């Protein structure tokens, strides 16, 4: 414990030195180094404090230092117990009166006069009985005066010395006081300990969440296998496992597979979107800044900003909340059709933009400029989706070859998934998808960035809509922050909102003047946005 206390003392002294050097207080620093030798508090050791009072300050007539020391201890102990103020004041008074008596015994009338000149007003404010003491230096024989005789006796001094010793011993044992500066070391140790505990708890939480996800996946697989006997269909499924992508040299474990699965539910469950009641909104706002149909829009990580893109190759950054700052509002001209948008998951500073000519731009919203311009393979020019990892500085791009065909799905061609490092802005790896994989239109990481889900044109989740009337749009979906509502694009003017949990039911969004082309949910609140071919982006808040 003694070594630990000395370490904390040295750490506190280093903090003081650092501050004095930083402020340029070189003279104060020299005085501090000199004062360390005297140590005003003497480490709160009783014998050293008594020696400092009765063997140093009083015999050397250092009144200023004596009063400073007494004030220091008065502040220390009265802070611990306000009821001690009267006791401390009386001891303070007696020590100073002994100073006067000692000076007069030594023939140092000048020291007494100096004390009263410099500190007389302060003494009077503390105790009016000092008035009679101002006359002491002018008595011929003050030790014979009845009023002062007792203070000149050896017995009174011994009683005072013993009283001070007993008081300090009792106070330092009953109220051990650690200076605030020394507590910094203890608080630092406490913070480090708490950080370790948080790290361990976060690891346990991550393990529990992973186990929960695996269990839910098994339940879903079991339910799907049961439903397969009712309404079987052929679908395509891709599972990509992400372990540690932050380091370019690390290996990537990627699993993939094609298998039969099913979409359960009767036609009455899934085909009656027009019968859904209109959603009841708390508020709604519409942004009309675009001049062409909207094809993509996304909330930022905080939900304060929105990025929306139209087919004319422009991206606009704006806010729907009048209380939020508008300093980041901007219009970005990309020179090609915008296919995808994605905000950095950890801040609102960076926006990724994917285009139809194989370009990926990184836009810094504070600097209002493109900070990186990437080019993908010429074989896969359409960047259909971009997704940032929630925990690591990486993102994944879903590109399509754009192969021509008879149907809308065929026109998107084959898929390519690339993992990019956001620190070096270089491609890390291209994920293997097998032979001729269908185009991937939507990506999503799980909470810890270990798994990546990809929805393809003939994917596991099917969108039932009229493809002939909406062949130019890539259908999107968005799940709210609680995982209870699924919002999807559609060829009509209202977007359906499915209740994912419980009985299959739903609502419809407020009407646009054109088909719904893009959707997204606020990252934390029950607020969603819809973009439309009518050039408008609408933000709607609903009750949770």
CA distance 406 to 477: 24
Q: What sign does the dihedral 66-72-76-77 (CA atoms) show?
A: positive
Q: Environment class of residue 509 by beta-carbon count within 10 Å: exposed (0-12), middle (13-18) or buried (19+)?
A: buried
CA distance 131 to 314: 86
Please give the residue that has the higher pLDDT: either 380 or 471. Answer: 380
pLDDT of 289 > 80? The answer is yes
Q: Which has the closest alpha carbon to 220: 483, 513, 529, 493?
A: 483
Q: Is 529 helix (H, G, I), strand (E, B) or coil?
A: strand
pLDDT of 527 > 80? The answer is yes
Contact yes or no for 162/130 (Cβ under 8 A): no
CA distance 515 to 512: 7
pLDDT grade for 408, boundaries at 50, 70 and 90: low
Residue 104, H or E segment: helix 85-105
The tens digit of pLDDT for each residue in 84-96 reads 777 888 888 899 9
Q: What is the DSSP string of 163-204?
A: HHHHHHHHHHHHS----HHHHHHHHHHHHHHHHHHHHHHHHH
Mean pLDDT of the chain: 78
Q: What is the pLDDT of residue 232?
A: 34
Structure tokens at 480: 């709210």
pLDDT of 502 > 60? The answer is no
The contacts of residue 200 (CB under 8 Å, 6+ apart) are: none
pLDDT of 437 > 70? The answer is yes
**327-390-458 Cα angle (round to 5):** 105
The contacts of residue 7 (CB under 8 Å, 6+ apart) are: 185
Write the secondary structure of 239-278 as one string of H (helix), E (strand) and C (coil): EEECCCCCCCCCCCCCCCEEEEEECCCCHHHHCCHHHCCE
Instruction: Provide the 8-state DSSP code for 297.
Output: E
The tens digit of pLDDT for each residue in 311-360 reads 889 999 998 887 777 888 899 998 899 999 999 988 888 999 999 999 99
Per-residue burial over 447-481, b = 16 or more CB atoms within 10 Å of its CB, e = otherwise: ebbbbbbbbbbebbeebebeeeebeebbbbbbebe
Q: Is 439 helix (H, G, I), strand (E, B) or coil?
A: coil
Q: Is 438 helix (H, G, I), strand (E, B) or coil?
A: strand
Instruction: Provide the 8-state DSSP code for 57.
Output: I
CA distance 9 to 17: 12
The tens digit of pLDDT for each residue in 182-241 reads 667 677 778 878 888 887 888 788 778 878 877 877 787 676 555 444 433 333 343 333
Token pair 């014998």 is found at 47
Q: What is the pLDDT of residue 244?
A: 40
Q: Give the mean pLDDT of 364-369.
A: 90
Q: Which has the closest alpha carbon to 374: 395, 343, 401?
A: 395
Q: What is the pLDDT of residue 249?
A: 38
The tens digit of pLDDT for each residue in 136-179 reads 888 888 888 888 889 999 999 999 999 988 888 877 765 555 56
Residue 516, H or E segment: strand 516-521
């Amino acid at each position: 414990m003694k070594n630990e206390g000395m370490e904390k003392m040295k750490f506190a002294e280093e903090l003081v030195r650092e501050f004095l050097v930083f402020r340029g207080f070189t003279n104060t620093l020299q005085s501090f180094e000199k004062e360390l030798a005297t140590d005003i508090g003497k480490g709160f050791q009783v014998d050293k404090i008594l020696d400092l009072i009765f063997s140093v300050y009083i015999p050397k007539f250092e009144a200023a230092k004596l009063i400073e020391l007494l004030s220091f201890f008065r502040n220390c102990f009265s802070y611990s117990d306000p009821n001690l103020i009267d006791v401390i004041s009386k001891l303070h008074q007696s020590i100073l009166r002994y100073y006067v008596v000692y000076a007069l015994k030594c023939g140092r009338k000048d020291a007494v006069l100096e004390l009263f000149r410099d500190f007389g007003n302060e003494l009077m404010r503390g105790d009016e009985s000092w008035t009679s003491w101002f006359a002491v230096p002018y008595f011929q024989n003050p030790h014979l005066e009845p009023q002062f005789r007792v203070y000149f006796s050896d017995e009174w001094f011994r009683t005072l010395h013993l009283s001070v010793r007993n008081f300090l011993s009792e106070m330092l044992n009953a109220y051990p006081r650690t200076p605030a500066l020394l507590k910094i070391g203890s608080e630092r140790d406490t913070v480090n300990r708490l950080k370790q505990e948080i790290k361990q708890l976060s690891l346990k939480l991550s393990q529990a969440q992973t186990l929960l996800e695996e269990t839910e996946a098994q339940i879903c697989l079991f339910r799907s296998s049961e439903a397969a006997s009712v309404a079987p269909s052929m679908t395509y499924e891709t599972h990509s496992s992400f372990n540690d992508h932050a380091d370019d040299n690390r290996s990537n474990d990627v699993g993939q597979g094609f298998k039969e699965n099913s979409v359960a539910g009767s036609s009455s469950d899934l085909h009656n979107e027009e019968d859904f009641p209109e959603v009841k909104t708390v508020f709604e706002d519409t942004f009309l800044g675009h001049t062409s149909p909207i094809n993509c829009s996304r909330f930022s990580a905080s939900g304060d900003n929105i990025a929306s893109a139209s087919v004319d190759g422009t991206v606009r950054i704006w806010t729907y909340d009048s209380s939020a700052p508008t300093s980041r509002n901007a219009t970005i001209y990309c020179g090609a059709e915008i296919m995808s948008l994605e905000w950095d998951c950890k801040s609102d500073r960076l926006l990724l933009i994917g285009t139809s000519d194989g370009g990926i731009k990184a836009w810094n919203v504070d600097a209002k400029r493109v900070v990186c311009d990437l080019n993908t393979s010429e074989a896969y020019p359409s960047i259909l989706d971009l997704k940032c990892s929630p925990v690591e500085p990486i993102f994944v791009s879903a590109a399509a070859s754009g192969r021509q065909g008879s149907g809308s799905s065929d026109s998107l061609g084959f898929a390519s998934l690339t993992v990019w490092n956001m620190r070096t802005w270089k491609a890390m790896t291209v994920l293997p998808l097998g032979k001729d994989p269908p185009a991937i239109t939507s990506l999503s990481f799980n909470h810890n960035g270990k798994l990546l889900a990809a929805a393809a044109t003939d994917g596991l989740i099917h969108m039932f809509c009229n493809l002939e009337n909406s062949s130019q749009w890539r259908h999107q979906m968005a799940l709210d922050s609680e995982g209870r509502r699924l919002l999807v694009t559609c060829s009509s003017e209202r977007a359906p909102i499915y209740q994912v949990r419980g009985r299959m039911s739903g609502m419809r969004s407020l009407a646009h003047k054109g088909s719904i082309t893009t959707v997204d949910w606020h990252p934390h609140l029950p607020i969603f946005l819809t973009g439309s071919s009518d050039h408008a982006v609408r933000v709607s808040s609903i009750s949770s």
